[in-house]
Chains A and B, each alone.
Chain A
Amino acid sequence: MNTRLKQGKAPMNAIDRRRFLTISAAAVGVAGAGALLGRNATSQALYRWEGVALGTSASITLAHPEAERIVARARAEIARLEGVFSLYRADSALSRLNAAGKLEQPPFELLECLSLCGTVNAATGGLFDPSVQPVWRLYADSYDLGRVPDTAALAAAQALVGWGGVRMDAARISFAEPGMALTLNGVAQGFIADRVATLLASEGLSDILVDTGEMRALGGHPHGGAWPISLDVEGQVLPNAVPLRNLALASSAPRGTTFDDARTQGHILNPATGTPSAQPWRLVSVTAPQAALADALSSAFCLMSREEIAAALTAFPSARLVYLG
């Protein structure tokens, strides 16, 4: 019996809006590409799947005789990875880790992803920190009830934040303190895009754009040239702002989603202070060879000044800040 209640729109689904902005901008590029693909030398009809990955709309577009089978595999992979990373599914590896404070035999993907988180955490001076989840949870729950988070509770939650408290090896992941929890919402979307891209590449495919909320281009545009990706800066569309070829793009809009109705408390929290970002950025876009890395960096950069970002980027020579403003 594997019946689940339909996922309601959980308060933690706050990431949605930010994702939506990028996707709606990208959709133009993908749709255009689709038209070109259809007209291209290949007579293969275009196949486009649109669905959901980690609570966000996702899509895969490709032209292939066995497109349906390939997409079915990709969807199974997405479903499997949701079973690792999703905070909305109580049976996911991450949820079980958060609930129990430890996880035996962690999935390899969780190890890999946390390993990446450690890297970005070190390079950003701790500003990228998945262990901020207890504070995030407190914000979400409080504003859900229409309250400002209680100062004492905030201090207690803040005390649980700290990447150093996360211990892992191939046999076990565990937390130093009970009550600690992780969120991978700032990186998992990109991670899934990478895994789907790897899967499609193993099928011998190229010239595909995987969009799971963050984008990973496999090859370039089927018609030649790079994938033209548009950016959406709080409603203002910058058409074809980023050319993408064998590259990943991730964007974060700190105030795209807010905890409160007044739209002042942005959803990206500073793990050092436990408060929403004090930086003025409306959109931060980063390219990197891997979508997971771009995703993590774009999340962290929301909390950093231009100079700090430049400094952090020296650790990642292949990553590039493509929009900040």
Chain B
Amino acid sequence: MPLVRIVRGFALGVFLAVSSVLFALPAAAQAEVPQLPQFTANFPASSLVPEADAYGPMLEDIPVMPLLRAGEIIGYAFLNSDIVSSIGYSSRPIDILAAISPDAVLMGASMRRQSEPLLQSGSRALDARELVQGYTGRDLKPEAVPGGSGIDRPYISGISTSVRVIEDSLVRAGLKVAFTLGLGGLEMPARPEGTYDRVNPDVAAPETWQELLDAGLLQQLTLTVGTVNAAFAAPDQPPAAAEFPLKRAPDELVIDLYATVISVPGMTSRMLREIEQIDLATMVEEGGSAIMIGARGPYSWRGTAYRYDGQYDRIELIQGDKTIRFNSRDQMSIYRIHVEGAPILDEIGLLAIPAFAEFDPTKPWRLQLLVQRNMGAIDRAYLTYGLDFALPSNFIIPAEMTVAQYEAAQERAAKVAMRDSVWAARTPEIAGLAAMLAVLTAAFFFQTYLTRSARLTFWFRIAYLSTTLVFLGWYSNAQLSIVNLMALLSSLRTGFEWDTFTMEPMTFILWFSVAAALIFWGRGAYCGWLCPFGALQELTNRLAKLLHIPQWTLPWGLNERLWAVKYIIFLGLFGVTLTSLDTAIRYAEVEPFRTAITLKFMRAWPFTLYLLVLLFIGLFVERFYCRYLCPLGAALAIPARIRMFDWIKRYRECGNPCQICSNECMVQSIHPTGEINPNECLSCLHCQVQYQSKTVCPVVIKQVKRRDKIATGVHAVSAAIERTQFTNHPHAVKVAE
């Protein structure tokens, strides 16, 4: 079967690629470019909120468009996936266009795009739409406190992951918009510690004036008569300015100015006496800072205007794009700096900077000094000089992470919290699944003991399959699907995240055990025991047999060729996934699982009809769907040959010539030549029962007889047994007898 071999080689390569990527974790969060304009372009404002008639231009700080009515802003539209991660079960964002009022109440919400596997069918998609629309009127203000409002999440059986992502992303995106825009009185929470540089309060400043200057803790600006006169004579200055020069020697001082951030603890304690330190502490408010300016020379940095209006009009502080001006009310004068080597200064002021000015002492700043020259009665010329200050790095405790990193951590924490709540809610189911897995593992490990009794094995299997169908399938909706693999494949392109796959505990645990089982036993552990739809087929077929419905065994040649069909289906879906996950998910309806298990037959008639046809065929051809059509089975079969152990025991006589097991294998996975095809074997253990059967297996029967004969001491036969052991052939035994 060259086709199958090619398929295997190709898909095994893919499988290995998948597993290698599983351990690299590139996290692609929200889209870089806001998608809001695209979505609003196709969705009129009035559809989102009936009162609105247009969208305004997008805001700069956050991808939000005002909602307008007659030009007035009545709310704000946003796309959840622009603002927070809304990656659903499909590894792709659930896109919801929503609007929030100035009072932080959701005014409208509309599902615009989703690829959730379980929300694709007509009625479910409709449910999801209604669910999203139901958020209209939801007040987000109570959600702003930790723990949120505690409103019960709407729960739709089987699609809890998608529902939670909808809830979580909509509320968190809405809150972020509300915080950023200050809606409903909500304010951006204080910037978390660790995301910004802080002043180290424990570093002491050096002792002498010169050392302070050398360390950059004091900055100096010196202007002489020569410099200022030259500057006022520059071509961009009024010609008249040059006509009023300072009439002193060029090297004489105009101003010699020193500045520092005095509120840095190391500087406070070095420069100020205790009483002054107390005064400074009183003057500087929480979150504020203070600088010190001290100067000598005839030009005053204070000027004279402050005597009338309190404003210092000759100095300003610039940091980034902020300009800070000072008022004489928020300053205190000192007369001497008690530092060794400090010059005698004429004007020393400690100037307070209020917290709202958002001055950051760890960032560089510049003090600008305005120098003006009077030209006649009213005309004045102006020059600005700057003094640059940057706090030395040993005074700074650097930020541990950026805001982006912090937000990413928050985003992760939100996901973990959501996952934890899902896992907690499903603890009983998880326990049940764990018990089932433990039982199955024990059964496989001790299969020799189990299969000694045909009755026990039969009833164990019936009981286990019933549990699989009812508990795993209909109760827990834990049916694996090829869609899981397609989502994984798709996520490898868009950015794989563990969180997405750990969101649904039952599926995650099942996949994990499938991976383990593939290594030990092959696909059979899942397909033969844990697949609810597989169980449904087998149990219905058992009933059919009970009712003596005739079974049709396919001719071997046809059976072998039909095997290929499922691989073709799998490859087809695989290819479509590469182009479009949405389309692939539609084609994945070839799996009847959703109809049979998740939706329990409650579905549009074409789907139900398809399911019933498959089950009907299954009454005559056991496990018809598993053997020939199931793309998931194909996907699991491909790596089946990597299993490390061969648990299924065989005799040399099997198939040569004995065909009993081969004929009885429910899925015809035993070649007429005797070997078992691991790609097809469902590990039902039937052939292992036969293997030990004293009534069916010719080898066992012969051995039993031999043992009996030894016991009765018939010598002639012992020679024949010698030969039998040599050839180990059931027919040979007959000849010998």
Contacts and interface: CB of A to CB of B under 8 A. Distances in A.
Interface of A: 1-6, 8, 73, 76-77, 79-80, 83, 104-105, 107-109, 111-112, 115-116, 118-119, 122-123, 167-171, 198, 202, 288-290, 292-293, 315-319
Nearest to B320: A76
A105 B382 contact: no
B313 A318 contact: no
A76 B360 CA distance: 14
B305 A171 contact: yes
B384 interface: yes
A170 B239 contact: no
Nearest to B383: A112
The 9 closest A-B pairs by CB, nearest first: A79-B321, A76-B320, A80-B321, A170-B313, A293-B236, A119-B238, A1-B182, A76-B321, A111-B382
A202 B318 CA distance: 14
B314 A77 contact: no
Interface in B378-396: 378-384, 386, 388
B180 A3 contact: yes
B617 to A, nearest CB: 62
Given A79-B321, A170-B370, A171-B313, A115 B58 contact: no
Given A5-B59, A119-B237, A77 B321 contact: yes
A318 B233 CA distance: 12
B343 interface: no
Interface string B353-390: 00000000000100010101000001111111010100
B235 A288 contact: yes
Interface residues of B, number: 43
A111 B237 CA distance: 12
B220 to A, nearest CB: 14
Contact of A108 (B62, B309, B370): B370
B311 A105 contact: yes
A202 B389 CA distance: 11
A202 B386 contact: yes
Contacts of B368: 108
B384 A109 contact: yes
B311 A171 contact: yes
20 contacts: A3-B60, A3-B62, A4-B59, A8-B57, A80-B321, A105-B311, A107-B316, A107-B323, A108-B370, A109-B384, A111-B382, A116-B237, A168-B380, A170-B305, A170-B313, A170-B380, A170-B382, A198-B386, A202-B386, A318-B235
Nearest to B179: A1
A112 to B, nearest CB: 5
A290 B236 contact: yes
A314 to B, nearest CB: 11
A315 B233 CA distance: 12
A115 B320 CA distance: 25
A13 to B, nearest CB: 15
B181 interface: yes
A73 B305 CA distance: 31
Interface in B157-191: 180-182
A77 B372 CA distance: 23
Contacts of A293: 235-236
A20 B381 CA distance: 33
A289 B386 contact: no
A112 B384 contact: yes
B706 interface: no
A171 B322 CA distance: 19
B61 interface: yes
A107 B322 CA distance: 11
Nearest to A114: B382
Contacts of A168: 380
B325 interface: yes
Nearest to B312: A105
B56 interface: yes
Between B60, B181, B313, B383, the greatest number of chain A beta carbons within 10 A of the residue's beta carbon is seen for B313
Nearest to B368: A108
B189 to A, nearest CB: 14
Nearest to B370: A108
A77 B318 CA distance: 9
Nearest to B306: A171
Contact of A73 (B180, B182, B311, B364): B364
Contact of B59 (A3, A76, A105): A3
A82 B316 CA distance: 17
Contacts of B298: none
B194 interface: no
A118 B238 contact: yes
A155 to B, nearest CB: 29
Interface in B573-606: none
Contacts of A171: 305, 309, 311, 313
A112 B372 CA distance: 10
B100 to A, nearest CB: 14
Contacts of B305: 170-171
Contacts of A288: 235-236
Contacts of B148: none
A110 B181 CA distance: 31
Contacts of B325: 105
Contacts of A115: 237-238, 380-382
Contacts of B60: 3-6
A5 B58 CA distance: 7
Nearest to B188: A1
B61 A2 contact: yes
B294 to A, nearest CB: 21
Nearest to A202: B388
B321 A108 contact: no
A318 B56 CA distance: 50
A171 B306 CA distance: 9
Contact of B313 (A2, A8, A105, A315): A105
B71 interface: no
Nearest to A317: B235
